[in-house]
């Protein structure tokens, strides 16, 4: 997207936006960029865009801080529990059945979490699939499926946190005691922590089933093809229409026939974006490749 001066009332804001666009931020929607910008201005107690433009030209650290403020990493285990319940009851069992029906010697379930932040979402999926596979195997002695979860995010420090898999208990509030005791170990925080908060590390087996990489969704190709499901939740809200369309197209190509796409609860696929998918669980924002 190119910026038109007449649509931006303040010339200093226009200059700042151009500077950010030169860094590749044109994929984000202008109102979102403005909110992040104004948040930084409030933190630095800067009264107007002119003063903030001056600060940016004097202080390269502020520019770095501003750029990293676009990567919002809010997430938790089993975020939106009703979404995960839908996966557990309807979507994952169907993916597991399909996996067993392939007749392959090494059947594999392939899932991509695009915009995985600090890893809670892909680990939640890995735990759910492991639970379902174990229950089936115990009940019917069925052959197992290999689980391959890919998780990508633009933010390299979030990917570092994900790989370590250590979380404060606040992000585990939706994890049942039963799952907590089987898939997490209590650990001491690496750096001494002032509060009495508890920390837990995801079990090694679950950590090994997720392959984490740094990647910009708007620039790089998917980490694999033939996915059974792609989750891109609470990421596209920040993108402009054109970037969203390209991304949906990319997801469509990377999915298996009838593969699933899940987006965030406050997002929706409409018009041209919906054309390639059909909505199967509207409330949970789950779509299927048409
Ligand atoms: C709010 S978090 C969502 C995390 C998780 N999907 C969830 O719903 O709980 C949004 C994530 O999108 C990532 N993100 C933003 N722009 C991105 C891009 N262009 N490519 C890859 N990840 C991006 C951010 O770094 C952040 O970790």
Structural domains in the chain, sorted by start: 5-68 (no CATH), 81-289 (3.40.50.150)
Ligand 1 center from residue 116 Cα (angstroms): 6
pLDDT tens for residues 36-83? 999 999 999 999 999 999 999 888 888 878 887 887 788 999 999 999
Ligand 1 center from residue 115 Cα (angstroms): 4
Is residue 138 predicted with pLDDT exceeding 70? no
Report the mean per-residue pLDDT for the chain. 90
Least confident of 3-12, 176-185, 204-213: 3-12
Q: Say how many Å lie between the first and final Cα of the chain, rounded.
A: 29
Least confident of 37-41, 122-126, 269-273: 269-273
Q: List, chain by chain if needed, residues with CB within 6 Å of any ligand 1 atom.
A: 71-75, 79, 115-117, 121, 153-155, 158, 216-218, 233-235, 238, 264
> Does the pTM exceed 0.75?
yes
Is residue 134 predicted with pLDDT exceeding 70? yes
Q: Name the band, by pLDDT with cuts 50, 70 and 90, for residue 240.
A: confident
Q: Give me the pLDDT at residue 44, please.
A: 93
pLDDT tens for residues 170-186? 899 999 999 999 999 99
Q: Give me the pLDDT at residue 139, please.
A: 53
Is residue 140 predicted with pLDDT exceeding 70? no
Residues making up the chain, counted from first to last:
290
Q: Which residue has better confidence, 139 or 22?
A: 22
């Amino acid at each position: 997207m190119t910026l038109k001066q007449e649509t931006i009332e303040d010339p200093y804001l226009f200059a700042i936006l151009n500077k950010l666009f030169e860094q590749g931020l044109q994929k984000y929607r202008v109102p979102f960029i403005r909110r992040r910008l104004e948040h930084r201005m409030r933190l630095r107690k800067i009264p107007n865009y002119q003063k903030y433009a001056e600060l940016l030209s004097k202080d390269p650290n502020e520019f770095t801080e501003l750029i990293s403020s676009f990567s919002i990493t809010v997430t938790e285990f089993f975020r939106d529990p009703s979404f995960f319940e839908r996966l557990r009851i309807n979507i994952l069992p169907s993916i597991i059945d399909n996996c067993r029906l392939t007749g392959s010697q090494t059947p594999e379930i392939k899932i991509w979490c695009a915009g995985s932040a600090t890893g809670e979402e892909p680990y939640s999926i890995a735990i759910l699939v492991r639970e379902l596979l174990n229950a089936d195997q115990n009940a019917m002695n069925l052959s197992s499926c290999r689980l391959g979860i890919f998780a990508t995010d633009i933010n390299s420090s979030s990917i570092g946190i994900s790989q370590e898999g250590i979380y404060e208990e606040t992000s585990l509030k939706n994890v049942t005691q039963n799952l907590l005791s089987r898939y997490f170990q209590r650990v001491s925080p690496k750096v001494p922590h002032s509060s009495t908060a508890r920390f837990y590390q995801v079990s090694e087996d679950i950590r090994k089933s997720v392959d984490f990489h740094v990647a910009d969704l708007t620039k790089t190709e998917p980490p694999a093809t033939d996915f059974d499901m792609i989750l891109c939740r609470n990421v596209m809200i920040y993108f402009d229409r054109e970037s969203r369309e390209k991304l949906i197209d990319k997801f469509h190509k990377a999915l298996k026939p009838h593969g699933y796409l899940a987006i965030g609860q406050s997002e929706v696929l409409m018009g041209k974006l919906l054309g390639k998918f059909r909505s199967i669980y509207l409330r949970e924002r789950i779509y299927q490749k048409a």
